[in-house]
């Protein structure tokens, strides 16, 4: 079936209107999800962790058999410098700034060595 120019034009308008409606609906959903996330009630997931758990259980500290905070509390209960060393080494490959995290670990390790060397 061959469409006339007028029919093709009308069909194109329908297609564009449907596309714009889908885009507008997608934007509404995204805006609502962002608002929910900012208010802490989001159902969005990031890395398998609910958005509201990114503070208490971020994925760069919950990647292994044990959560990093539990290991640090067990290993270094009274040594904040070694706690920092462990923290930065643990997350170095997982948070996105590996070199920076390793440099921070080195900084705290050197401070602990200097403290013990006195």
What's the pLDDT at 82?
Answer: 94
Asked whether the beta carbons of 48 and 42 are under 8 A apart, the reply is no
Answer yes or no: is pLDDT of 44 > 60.
no
What's the pLDDT at 79?
Answer: 93
What's the pLDDT at 41?
Answer: 45
Answer yes or no: is pLDDT of 117 > 90.
yes
């Amino acid at each position: 079936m061959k469409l006339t120019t007028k029919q093709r034009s009308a069909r194109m308008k329908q297609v564009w209107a449907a596309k714009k409606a889908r885009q507008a609906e997608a934007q509404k959903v995204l805006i609502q999800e962002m608002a929910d996330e900012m208010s802490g009630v989001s159902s969005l997931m990031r890395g398998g962790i609910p958005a509201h758990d990114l503070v208490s259980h971020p994925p760069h500290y919950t990647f292994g058999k044990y959560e990093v905070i539990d290991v640090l509390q067990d290993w270094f209960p009274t040594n904040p410098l070694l706690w920092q060393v462990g923290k930065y080494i643990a997350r170095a490959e997982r948070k996105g700034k590996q070199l920076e995290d390793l440099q921070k670990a080195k900084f705290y390790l050197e401070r602990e060595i200097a403290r013990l060397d006195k």
